[in-house]
Amino acid sequence: MKTGTLETPITVGAGNKVATLVADMTMSLDGFIALPNDDVGRLFDWYRTGPVETPSASEEFTFKTDEKSAAELREAPQTIGALICGRRLFDHTQGWGGHHPVGCPVIVVSHSVPKGWPREGIPFHFVDSVEKAVALATEIAGDRIVAIATPTITQQCINLGVLDVLRVNLAPVLLGSGIPWFANLKDAPILLEDPDVSEGLRVTHLTYRMR
């Protein structure tokens, strides 16, 4: 498969994947992952208010958290084999300068390849549907985790029945309005298992398995 081109069609179903699909985002108490203009406001305070420094795969990002959250952040590069995001997030972050903080291959759902991409030696792939993204990401990740990093793709993976885990980093913030994480769910209500809970500084990590 070619990096940087719109990949050839691939089909995916819940029964033929090995990787675990995990949607992992920081959310306000009222259910938003960003303000209407994509600004995260105070949601990411937990990344920068603690005494423990955790470097990322990108030289531009170093996290400063408490030890509980640092343990979560240290685990991510060891367990995540691929990440799926949308074109909106890719453009907003300017492709993380070519190096996502997790340090894994990134699959971008987009109807076109951005100008200036692909870039040699940088594992970014561009596909034009969530189904193709899931198929390619699970192929790349093998038996590791595929991280889902945007709300609309989370919603579509839930609707497709391929999402395994929801990981909510719950920030003690009320945004009042913004971009909701959970909307347009076709089969709601959707039951989840009881959460695993880890309390950090300025964040509570909640991990729910899909029932």
Torsions phi, psi of 179, nearest 5? -95, 115
C-alpha to C-alpha distance for 69 and 40, rounded to whole angstroms: 19
Q: In this predicted model, what pLDDT tens digit does every residue of 130-164 receive, in sequence order?
A: 999 999 999 999 999 999 999 999 999 999 999 99
Number of separate domains in the chain: 1
Residue 56: both structure tokens together = 């990322």
> pTM of whole model > 0.75?
yes
Q: Count the alpha carbons within 13 Å of 4 in the hemisphere toward its beta carbon.
A: 11
Task: Kindly indicate the confidence band of residue 59, based on its pLDDT and cuts at 50, 70 and 90.
Answer: confident
Q: What is the helix (H) or strand (E) element at residue 176, kind and residue range?
A: none
Report if residue 2 sits inside a domain. no
Residue 129: both structure tokens together = 């549907």
Task: Kindly indicate the confidence band of residue 17, based on its pLDDT and cuts at 50, 70 and 90.
Answer: low
Q: Count the alpha carbons within 13 Å of 122 in the hemisphere toward its beta carbon.
A: 18
Amino acid at 8: T
CA 126 to chain centre: 16
pLDDT (average), residues 36-52? 95
Please say whether the beta carbons of 122 and 140 come within 8 A: no
Report if residue 201 sits inside a domain. yes
Q: In this predicted model, what pLDDT tens digit does every residue of 92-133 receive, in sequence order?
A: 999 998 889 999 999 999 999 999 888 888 899 999 999 999
- In this prediction, residue 14 carries a pLDDT of 43
Report if residue 74 sits inside a domain. yes
Question: What stretches of the chain adopt beta strand conformation (E)?
Answer: 20-28, 32-34, 52-55, 62-65, 80-86, 106-109, 124-127, 145-148, 165-171, 179-180, 196-200, 203-209
Amino acid at 59: E
Residue 91: both structure tokens together = 């453009």
Report if residue 49 sits inside a domain. yes
Residue 130: both structure tokens together = 């969530």
* DSSP at 123: -
What is residue 83's three-state secondary structure?
Answer: strand
CATH number at residue 117: 3.40.430.10
Domain of residue 145: give its range.
Answer: 20-209
Torsions phi, psi of 155, nearest 5? -60, -45
